[in-house]
Amino acid sequence: MRAISALHRIAAVATAVTLAAAMVACGSNDDPAASGPDLGLIKSGTLRIGTLTDAPPNVYVKDGKFTGFDNDLITAVAAKLNLKPEFVGTDFSALLSQVNGGQFDLGSSSITVTEARKKTVAFSNGYDFGYLGLNTTKTSGITTFGQLKGKRVVVVQGTVQDDYATGKNLDPVRVPNYNAALGLLKAGTADAWVSPAEIGEKMAKDQGGGTVILAAKELSDAPMAFAVAKSNDKLRDAVNKALDEVIADGTWTKLVDQYYPGRAVPATFKPGSGSVTPAASTTAAAG
């Protein structure tokens, strides 16, 4: 009888261990704390992302969903980290301070890396390059950046386009978002808009009413990157590692082809750490 009782106790212990293992396995799927490493996130298992709603093809809302090149890319990065992306719309002028203040884990909005911005936030490795754009109307007669002196020029506040116009002593009109900038052009209350070229070109075609054009563009010498709080080195390092992974597996190239078909990548630009080679584009000429 004692032997039978001992066997019962052994069986009970084995059953308890099996149940405990099953609970741990279930927890790996359902417990937010088990999703991804400890990255100092606002909410465990979730990457809270500040972005814009009105800047296609980079960052915008379509059918109620945040999308665009930058947001689809950070979604792929989050998946590598086993994190759920949670997008929140904001104004660009507030985005960096909101990231560093802990309102967002990360900022996604074609943010050009500058020394001034490094005083507010830290940046991931660069994932894109960009151009300054010159948007105007078909009847303005403006075809080059050199013709902007004395003109009424609009920019989105806090952008590198704002920095450019200020540095050229153009005394720009500052607005909070891209729709407002386009609106001034269409209404005839601005002569030109210094824009991110991809966004300016896309909005001119989609919303310009046939009167707004992208007259010129010039390559920026600084990359675009995701913004993270200066205090969160763990998140920045994790994002950089995952960014290299989505470059290596072809996701980065796929999104470039989707959102910028036919756009050549300059030979001087290497996305991510530069240690991985992107897949070849199927739509763009060699750059």
Residue 26 structure tokens = 């279930």
22 neighbors 217 (Cβ within 8 angstroms): no
| pLDDT of res. 21 | 41
CB atoms within 10 A of CB 255: 22
- Global pTM? 0.79
pLDDT of 2 strictly over 90: no
pLDDT of 137 strictly over 90: yes
- Could you report the per-residue pLDDT of 247-263, keeping only the tens digit for each? 999 999 999 999 999 98
Mean pLDDT of 37-49: 93
Residue 117 structure tokens = 């911005």
| pLDDT of res. 13 | 44
| pLDDT of res. 36 | 53
β-sheet with 212-219: strand ranges across: 173-175, 153-156, 192-196, 131-137, 212-219
Q: What is the dihedral of CA 102, 66, 284, 278, to 10 degrees?
A: 50
- Residue percentage of the chain with pLDDT more than 70: 86
Weakest mean pLDDT among 38-47, 49-58, 93-102, 258-267: 258-267
Weakest mean pLDDT among 22-31, 158-167, 228-237, 271-280: 22-31
Looking at the chain, list the stretches that DSSP marks H as alpha helix, in order from N- to C-terminal side: 2-30, 69-80, 92-100, 160-167, 178-187, 197-207, 233-248, 251-259
CB within 8 Å of 256: residues ≥ 6 apart = 69, 263, 265, 281, 284
75 closest CA partner among 51, 53, 54, 99: 51
Residue 173 structure tokens = 């009109």
pLDDT of 177 strictly over 60: yes
Partners of 147 in beta bridges? none
Radius of gyration of the chain (CA): 24
- Could you report the per-residue pLDDT of 47-66, keeping only the tens digit for each? 999 999 999 999 999 999 99
Taking phi first (over 0 means left), then psi (-120 to 50 degrees means alpha), and beta for anything else, what does residue 154 get?
beta
| pLDDT of res. 27 | 37
Mapped onto helix, strand or coil, the DSSP state of residue 256 is helix
Q: Tell me the pLDDT of the chain averaged across its residues.
A: 88
